[in-house]
Structure 1
Amino acid sequence: MMGKDGAYASGSYKTGIGGLTHLQGADNAVVIAAMKDATHGFAGKMDEQDFTDLADFVTKGQIDIDAVIERESKKANGDAANGSRYYGTVCAGCHGKDDMMPKDMPPLGKLANKNPWEIIQKTLNGQPDEKMPAMRAFDLQVSVDILAYLQTLPKE
């Protein structure tokens, strides 16, 4: 959400794009108009409910990422013991008790330590084109605790 000022300021994801944090609290119509303009080119590519859902996320769904992940160390500000319990009841059914499923993805410990910002967003919002559900129904701290737990897991 921070674009060039966030996790993607360098490395293979570097884009130079400014991010969306300035749109927190904005009018949905402004966001929808931007998605449909010539620069973004999404007009006619989604139905109106999809535009509304995306605009709701941009205007109402952003979180203060620095409050949940320490930028320098990449460590989640969560309780790994609680996260372990949440993981066992909410996540293990798909990711396995050994945290190594599905087989076609790297270990969760590796992902959580490499890019915790991506993991917290996927935990909160789900994984596109996959069965992974969004966990926004839970308090944010539940997702942060799960991330803290994932960071304790083996990276290989």
Structure 2
Amino acid sequence: MLVVAGSLLSAIQMLHAQDGKGAAGPAEHSNLADFVHRAPPQPTEIWLRAAGGRIYDNWWDALDRRKPEGTHPAYPGAGKRTGANTWRCVECHGWDYNGKDGLYGSGERYTGIKGIRGAVGRDVNRIAALLRAEPHSYKRELINDEEVQRVAIFVSRGQDNADRLIDLKTGTARGDPVRGAGLFQTTCAACHGFDGRALDWGAAKEPAYVGTEANKFPHEVLHKIRNAHPGVVMINLRGFPLQDAIDVLAFARTLPSK
């Protein structure tokens, strides 16, 4: 069992360390790579919502595609971002899905673009058509029809109303950290460790652990708890009650940030 666990952790760490071009090495054609980038034979509604959330986050990592070149032609001139990141849905619409009326109402992520909250409950095919048309302009060579449907399903039926779950000023998650500890220790800790520091996304002098991210970017962490981080082996809690994810986030904010 120790060998199996060690091998799995090595594979997970390898995928976490990739450069956005998809799984590398032996895992490329493995079940792990299928889990990360492929769809099940009969996708459930729960899977489709989570998969759409990952595409919303970063579609080329989620789908194992090349990064788009240049800045998105519709990215506002007043925006401060350039390059591939401007092709991400989240870059304009935000981790709270409120766009200019939420987290991205000011600062370096401000674009003046509204969020997607108004699209909750809308017809999925209509949303998919909007993603194809200008200003979004996601052509089939970038994201195919089936994948666009996943995004549309997420937009219509997968958004969580973070306004009532996370305090916008303090970032405090309105959950039970004690209950969240039990969920974290029996699921998330398999990869992140009991203290959330087994994986580090930061630099040597500025680490980025679970606790670091949960305190700096609680809305983003909630999105990833619910949908997983695109392009890596990570479970998500989409199939469980939303309160479970909030409780995990509340606990994650108690973990070490250094």
User: Residues 214 and 253 of structure 2 are in contact (CA less than 8 Å); yes or no, is this contact kept in structure 1?
Assistant: yes
Instruction: Tell which deviates more after alignment, 100-109 or 84-93.
Output: 100-109
| Alignment partner of 1:148 is 2:250 | yes
Q: Give the Cα separation in 1 of the matches to 2:137 and 2:188.
A: 36
Residue 183 of structure 2 corresponds to which residue in structure 1?
86
Residue 125 of structure 1 corresponds to which residue in structure 2?
227
Residue 149 of structure 2 corresponds to which residue in structure 1?
52
Unaligned runs of 5+ in 2: 1-96, 203-207
Residue 104 of structure 1 corresponds to which residue in structure 2?
201
Residue 39 of structure 1 corresponds to which residue in structure 2?
135
User: Residues 196 and 256 of structure 2 are in contact (CA less than 8 Å); yes or no, is this contact kept in structure 1?
Assistant: no
The AA in structure 1 aligned to 2:118 is H
TM-score (norm 1): 0.94
Aligned partner of residue 87 in structure 1, secondary structure: helix
Q: Give the Cα separation in 2 of the matches to 1:101 and 1:3.
A: 33
Residue 7 of structure 1 corresponds to which residue in structure 2?
103
**Percent identity over the alignment?**
34
C-alpha deviation, 1:10, in angstroms: 2.2
Residue 120 of structure 2 corresponds to which residue in structure 1?
24
C-alpha deviation, 1:100, in angstroms: 0.7
TM-score (norm 2): 0.58
Residue 134 of structure 1 corresponds to which residue in structure 2?
236
Unaligned runs of 5+ in 1: none
The AA in structure 2 aligned to 1:65 is A
Q: Give the Cα separation in 2 of the matches to 1:133 and 1:39.
A: 33
C-alpha deviation, 1:103, in angstroms: 2.8
Aligned length: 156
C-alpha deviation, 1:98, in angstroms: 2.0
| Alignment partner of 1:116 is 2:218 | yes
